[in-house]
Amino acid sequence: MTVEPTEIVRSEERLTGTTEVVPYARARLRVETTTEEVLVPVTITRQHARVEYVDAQGAPVGPRPAEQAGDWVTLHVDEPVVSTRAVPVERVRLVTGWVAGTAQVQAQVAHEVVTEELGPAQRG
């Protein structure tokens, strides 16, 4: 008696690791204003009045007593004026990039085990 061979395909699970892009963190560029004291020198000038006496012929003469009637002259002075304005000084950019690394993953995998059972009629 000839016995036909029997075949079975045995299979098993294989573990593969892949990646999926998921949100990790959020970043925000924020501008904060700080105030500091700055000292800037400013040159100021003022007018100064001086009385010069000249006689009728054009030669200078010494001081005379003040007369009761006369013209008034307004003297001026420079006053410092403080102002500020915002000026662009720097451009800041947030750049993202990828950092490569490895991670170990672990899982249970199943596999099939083929056993043979021989009954009394099949034993030769």
How does pLDDT run across 82-102, given as a tens digit for each residue? 999 999 999 999 999 999 999
Domain for residue 14, yes or no?
Answer: no
Domain count of the chain? 1
Q: How confident is the model at residue 38 (pLDDT cuts 50, 70, 90)?
A: very high
Cβ atoms of 25 and 63 closer than 8 Å: no
Q: Give pTM, 2 decimals.
A: 0.43
Return the residue matching tokens 């959020």.
26
In a domain, residue 120? The reply is no
55: in domain: yes
Cα(49)–Cα(54) distance, integer angstroms: 16
User: By residue range, what is the domain housing residue 53?
Assistant: 35-61
Q: 12 - beta bridge partners?
A: 111
**H or E segment to which residue 61 belongs:** strand 60-61
